[in-house]
Amino acid sequence: MRSDSHIVSRRALLCVGLGVGTAGIVGVGVTALTGEDAGSGGGGSGGGEPAPGGAAPDSYRLRPLAGETSMGEPAAHPPVHTRAESTLPAAAGGRVLALTFDDGPHPEHTPRLLEVLRRHDVQATFFVVGENAAAFPGLLNAMAADGHVVGNHSWAHRTLTRMRPSDVRDDLGRTSELIDRVVGTPPRWCRAPYGAWHPPSLKVCADLGMEPMGWSVDTHDWTRPGTARIVRAVTDRATPGAIVLQHDGGGPRHQTVAAVDRYLPLLRAHGYTCVRPQL
């Protein structure tokens, strides 16, 4: 949404244009106001806390597409999918896979995981829960600063298929608004809690400018099976284009952090590269 000063200057310019037709003062009036208009610039969603009750602020919900700005053309609108893709697009090619982490950020486990990924020079995708992101916004900035993808994993990890479409829109929209406000870019990927999508939630996902993402390798790390079993789940099931599901929040994740540190050299030894998902 444009700032009030921008709107005022545009109205002033219109008034001058009308005056020009009758008074013939084009040169001075238009030049002065055009300069003011260019200087005010176009803003994003702006600051402020998320709207109470879980609803996204109108400034976000009124956008035709998440990610639109006042400068340039908006990106193409994602299609409404019938399901979430569980593997990377074939165009990715080669021995590549994507590491994804859900339910964070967590004040202890997420920083440790970020340090491990940084040491191995690997980028991943973090599907954050809105209420956790609101509590630890600095960790979202740390993710973005290291080049990781920040995705939408709902506001409070409620099952989308059991919610009214309007509530799904408020829930996902509120989370996207927060991510946009903190890191300066709205999320382009969304993962439904428990991977549970249905046609109404997939439509909301597309309306908010996001693509749904599933997974092909489930480490079951949330059950805390032990570091060795998490490592084997990844190395034994790694295939070109795989999307690996893990967690950095939602409970103790020491095993997950240790497993990532252990399996990344093994994946590299087998010719695998960890990549960010591409639209």
Residues with catalytic annotation? 102, 247
Collect all residues with Cβ–Cβ distance below 8 Å to 83 and sequence separation of at least 6. Answer: 197, 202, 212, 214
User: Are residues 134 and 155 in contact, defined by beta-carbon separation less than 8 angstroms?
Assistant: no
* Structure-block tokens of residue 266: 């093994």
Strand partners, 189: 211
CA contacts within 13 A on the Cβ side of 196: 11
Q: DSSP assignment of 116-161, as one string?
A: HHHHTT---EEEE-HHHHHH-HHHHHHHHHTT-EEEE--SS---GG
User: Phi/psi at 224 (nearest 5 deg)?
Assistant: 55, 60
Q: Would you mind telling me the total number of residues written for the chain in this entry? A: 279
- Helix H or strand E encompassing 218: strand 217-218
Strand partners, 190: 152, 212
Residue position matching structure tokens 């402020």: 48
Q: Contacts from 23-27 at CB under 8 Å and sequence distance 24+? A: none
User: Are residues 123 and 113 in contact, defined by beta-carbon separation less than 8 angstroms?
Assistant: no
